[in-house]
């Protein structure tokens, strides 16, 4: 058999039928829904008189609109949001799909919960009407975001029709220095090759720097494959993955574990496999990254400066940079480090997992958020929030002046209601710095949780490498 | 689904790169778990002034005659970001049937195909030239999905490519779910084999 990449292997193992024109009908092993985009899919399905084909393979969570204030009371972040929660509950119950509701300890951000519960597995296909579904590639799944209409197709048939994707291998060479994280690696990649650099391809992330990452960091890396313009991204499963999955609630039980592991190990890309494109990035000299503009590609090292639009390659790019600088209230050649911030946010499907919280807490221990800075930390799931509390991390955050919230998507995006208040410039561990994403007029600087913590303490964008962990 | 065969209509220019779905329809405007009511919310952060939601006279779609435009000339990577299908519903409910850009966010593009909105990819130079022309408010384009062409005044014709499946789906307004359900035997056969090959996928 000719050598194949991990992407081709997963694709071939899910092929139900070739449809011609390069399209294939692919089996979907797992469907996740959330309350913002799930109700439309289930409602349309019911209106068409159709049923969910395989309810046991479909899961729902409430994460997007729920208020993350104390107690997950079930209220929404804004008044209209309650209708989404009610509608989703009702539709999920009638469709017979499992819902991790607000009182369920398995509740959390959909892309945090899927691997944490062992529902997303290496080599499986997983879809969700949410663009950051690619996050789950960190476990070695082929996972991608879809719209509500495609989601209706997925639950009605447990398949999706798709054109075979182009493939790309991205090698992260070298070992990143202390204080440089998976978030910095993926931001640097997007900065170097552009927000459409992934060219709608399926990417395997590999290399020494990836092999050295824990599973949570690999989830962070894959989270922003969509910001890179890729169809999706994944990391091949290895010993790290297999150890991490063992014993998780929905992971294969004893009778199937050995067979599953053998299957996962065989997914590794064969020597000589063909790729449509190959890129690389040296991580050894990488600095922590911070965005300056309104696209994740608008990024520089923390020791860098805001670019000059005059140096842009063409008129459209120049206009784009000028517009971003106007929105961000920045000038060409201005240094990023030292820029005063008014709020700091740690959370989202990009960076809200236990190692993120531990690393940020280690910088915050015995330190205080600068006066006037509103600081929030929102754990990615109820389960990991409890685990963090068992370690006392919530006390470290609280003592430092961070608000410790319940799990959910929270201020990764503004949906009305909950907001950063009067704060305009925000340093954030999220994945999107689009105009208005975190609130009307809010200027978002994307960075790692370490950089967010260091900046919260300084009251200015600050290099976490200058602060010793405690 | 609504069919798309041919459209002769006014084009509006919005040539900024990386216009994301948060801008097309901000999350705070998604206030009902239904598919209706999004047309007036399209591009709301740009289209309306705060705090009283007066139309922003500087925004292109607020300037006559663009309120009746059915074709949008857009920049690179249009519709990137969030998968929210409300972005396409908002464009369609405003009146757009076709978006022409050098490239699209992949999920947005797939969502267009499923809502009777035609995403057309043309070279950046062509889109920029047409966009500059469209500013005058008189650019009528003839988008023909059967011929896969965009026609403009002076006999100009620009060919475009689209997948045969997507083209057929739009031309006929097909129900994709119905088509797939007709293959339920093949799906059942796959699943029977897969239960043996990967039992852990099924033992949830």
Contact B110 A20 (CB under 8 A): no
Query: In the A/B pair of chains, how many CB contacts fall below 8 A?
Result: 188
Q: How confident is the model at residue B51 (pLDDT cuts 50, 70, 90)?
A: confident
- Buried/exposed code over A418-431 (b: 16+ C-beta within 10 A; e: otherwise): bbbeebebbbbbbb
* Predicted-complex ipTM score: 0.95
Task: For residue range B81-92, list pLDDT tens digits in order.
Answer: 999 999 999 999
Shortest Cα distance, chain B CAs vs residue A416, angstroms: 5
Q: What Cα–Cα distance (Å) separates residue B177 from each residue in A215, B57, B189?
A: 35, 43, 18
Q: Which pLDDT belongs to residue A343?
A: 98
Q: Which pLDDT belongs to residue A320?
A: 87
User: Six-digit token pair at A326?
Assistant: 């106007």
Q: What is the mean pLDDT of residues B120-145?
A: 97
pLDDT averaged over chain A?
96
Contact A124/A29 with Cβ under 8 angstroms? yes
Task: For residue range A99-126, list pLDDT tens digits in order.
Answer: 999 999 999 999 999 999 999 999 999 9
Contact A414 B28 (CB under 8 A): yes
Contact A415 B30 (CB under 8 A): yes
Contact B77/B104 with Cβ under 8 angstroms? yes
Distance of CA A237 to the CA centre of its chain: 18
Shortest Cα distance, chain B CAs vs residue A367, angstroms: 35
Answer yes or no: is pLDDT of B55 > 90: yes
Contact A381/A119 with Cβ under 8 angstroms? no
Q: Which pLDDT belongs to residue A1?
A: 82
Q: Does B138 touch chain A (CB under 8 A)?
A: no
Which domains are present in chain A?
A: 6-165+249-264 (3.30.499.10), 167-238+270-282 (3.40.1060.10), 289-466 (3.30.499.10)
Q: Which pLDDT belongs to residue A258?
A: 97
Task: Tell me the torsion sign for CA atoms A157, B38, B101, A325.
Answer: negative
C-alpha B31/C-alpha A269 separation (Å) is 45
Answer yes or no: is pLDDT of A72 > 80: no
User: Six-digit token pair at A129?
Assistant: 């009407």
Task: For residue range B156-182, list pLDDT tens digits in order.
Answer: 999 999 999 999 999 999 989 999 999
Higher pLDDT, B176 or A69: B176
Q: How confident is the model at residue A316 (pLDDT cuts 50, 70, 90)?
A: confident
Mind spelling out the 3-state secondary structure of A124-149?
CEEEECCHHHHHHHHHCCEEEECCHH
Task: For residue range A323-358, list pLDDT tens digits in order.
Answer: 999 999 999 999 999 999 999 999 999 999 999 999
Which residues of B, range 84-123, sit inside 8 Å of A by Cβ? Answer: 84-85, 88, 103, 105-107, 110-111, 114-115
Q: Which pLDDT belongs to residue B177?
A: 95
Answer yes or no: is pLDDT of A376 > 90: yes
- Buried/exposed code over A380-396 (b: 16+ C-beta within 10 A; e: otherwise): bbbbbbeebeeeebbeb
* Strand-pair category, A202-206 with A232-234: parallel
B-interface mutation test, from A39, A110, A436, A438, most B Cβ less than 10 A away: A436
As a whole-number percent, the residues of chain B with pLDDT over 70 amount to 100
Percentages (nearest 5) of helix, strand, coil residues in chain B: 40, 20, 40
Stretch(es) of chain B classified as CATH 3.20.19.10: 6-173
Q: Which pLDDT belongs to residue A315?
A: 82
Residues of chain A with C-beta less than 8 angstroms from the C-beta of B201: 29, 121, 124
Q: Which pLDDT belongs to residue A350?
A: 98
**A92 SS3 class:** helix
Q: How confident is the model at residue B143 (pLDDT cuts 50, 70, 90)?
A: very high
Answer yes or no: is pLDDT of A254 > 90: no
Least confident of A247-261, A297-311, A313-327: A313-327
* Site of tokens 């031309």: B171
Q: Does A263 touch chain B (CB under 8 A)?
A: yes
For residue A254, give the DSSP letter: H
C-alpha A455/C-alpha A342 separation (Å) is 10
The alpha carbons of chain A give a radius of gyration, in whole angstroms, of 21
pLDDT averaged over chain B?
96
Shortest Cα distance, chain B CAs vs residue A155, angstroms: 10
Answer yes or no: is pLDDT of A73 > 80: no
Closest chain B residue by Cα to residue A119: B204
Q: Does A124 touch chain B (CB under 8 A)?
A: yes
Q: Does B201 touch chain A (CB under 8 A)?
A: yes
Contact B59/B46 with Cβ under 8 angstroms? yes
Into which CATH architecture does domain B6-173 fall?
Alpha-Beta Barrel (3.20)
Contact B201 A21 (CB under 8 A): no
Answer yes or no: is pLDDT of A417 > 90: no
Q: How confident is the model at residue A469 (pLDDT cuts 50, 70, 90)?
A: confident
Nearest to B81 among A131, A159, A415 (CB): A131
Q: What is the mean pLDDT of residues A407-428?
A: 94
């Amino acid at each position: 058999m000719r050598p194949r990449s991990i992407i081709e292997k997963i694709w071939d193992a899910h092929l139900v039928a070739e449809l011609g024109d390069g399209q294939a009908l692919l089996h979907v092993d797992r469907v996740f829904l959330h309350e913002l985009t799930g109700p439309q899919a289930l409602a349309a399905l019911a209106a068409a008189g159709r049923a969910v084909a395989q309810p046991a393979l479909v899961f729902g969570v409430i994460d997007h609109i729920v208020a993350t204030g104390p107690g997950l009371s079930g209220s929404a972040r804004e008044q209209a949001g309650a209708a989404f929660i009610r509608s989703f509950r009702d539709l999920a119950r009638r469709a017979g799909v499992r819902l991790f509701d607000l009182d369920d300890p398995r509740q959390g951000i959909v892309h945090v919960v899927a691997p944490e519960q062992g529902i997303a597995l290496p080599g499986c296909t997983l879809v969700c009407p949410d663009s950051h579904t690619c996050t789950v590639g960190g476990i070695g799944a082929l996972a991608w975001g879809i719209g509500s209409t495609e989601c209706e197709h997925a639950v009605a048939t447990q398949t999706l029709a798709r054109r075979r994707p182009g493939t790309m291998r991205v090698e992260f060479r070298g070992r990143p220095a202390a204080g440089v994280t998976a978030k910095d690696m993926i931001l640097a990649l997007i900065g170097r090759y552009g927000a459409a650099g992934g060219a709608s391809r399926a990417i395997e992330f590999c290399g020494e720097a990836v092999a050295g990452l824990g599973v949570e960091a690999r989830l962070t890396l894959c989270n922003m494959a969509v910001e890179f313009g890729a169809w999706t991204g994944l990391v091949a499963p290895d010993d790290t993955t297999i150890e991490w999955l063992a014993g998780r609630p929905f992971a294969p039980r004893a009778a199937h574990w050995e067979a599953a592991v053998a299957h996962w190990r065989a997914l590794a890309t064969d020597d000589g496999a063909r790729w449509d494109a190959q890129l690389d990035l040296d991580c050894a000299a990488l600095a922590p990254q911070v965005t300056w503009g309104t696209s994740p590609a608008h990024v520089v090292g923390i020791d860098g400066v805001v670019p000059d639009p005059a140096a842009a390659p063409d008129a459209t790019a120049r206009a784009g940079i000028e517009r971003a600088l106007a929105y961000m209230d920045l000038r060409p050649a201005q240094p990023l480090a030292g820029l005063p911030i008014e709020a700091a946010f740690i959370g989202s499907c990009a960076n809200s997992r236990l190692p993120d919280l531990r690393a940020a807490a280690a910088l915050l221990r015995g330190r205080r958020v600068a006066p006037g800075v509103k600081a929030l930390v929102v754990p990615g799931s109820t389960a990991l929030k409890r685990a963090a509390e068992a370690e006392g991390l919530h006390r470290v955050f609280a003592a430092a002046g961070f608000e410790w919230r319940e799990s959910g998507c929270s201020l990764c995006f503004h949906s009305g209601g909950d907001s950063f208040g009067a704060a305009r410039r925000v340093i954030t561990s999220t994945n999107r710095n689009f105009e208005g994403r975190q609130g009307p007029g809010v200027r978002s600087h994307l960075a790692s949780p370490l950089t967010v913590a260091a900046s919260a303490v300084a009251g200015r964008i600050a290099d976490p490498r200058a602060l010793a962990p405690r | 689904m609504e069919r798309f065969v041919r459209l002769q209509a006014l084009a509006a220019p919005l040539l900024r790169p990386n216009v994301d779905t948060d801008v097309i329809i901000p999350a705070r405007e998604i206030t009902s778990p239904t598919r209706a009511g999004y047309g007036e919310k399209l591009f709301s952060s740009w289209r309306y002034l705060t705090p009283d939601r007066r139309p922003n006279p500087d925004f292109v779609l607020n300037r006559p005659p663009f309120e009746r435009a059915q074709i949008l000339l857009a920049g690179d990577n249009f519709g990137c970001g969030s998968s929210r299908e409300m972005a396409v519903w908002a464009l369609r409910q405003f009146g757009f049937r076709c978006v022409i850009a050098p490239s699209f966010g992949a999920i947005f593009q797939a969502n267009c195909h499923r809502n009777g909105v035609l995403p057309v990819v043309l070279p950046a130079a062509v889109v920029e030239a047409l966009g500059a022309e469209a500013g005058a408010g008189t650019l009528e384009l003839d988008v023909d999905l059967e011929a896969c062409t965009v026609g403009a005044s002076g006999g100009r014709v620009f060919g475009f490519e689209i997948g045969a499946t997507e083209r057929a789906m739009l031309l006929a307004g097909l129900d994709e779910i119905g088509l797939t359900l007709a293959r339920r035997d093949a799906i059942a056969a796959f699943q029977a084999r897969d239960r043996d090959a990967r039992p852990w996928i099924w033992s949830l």
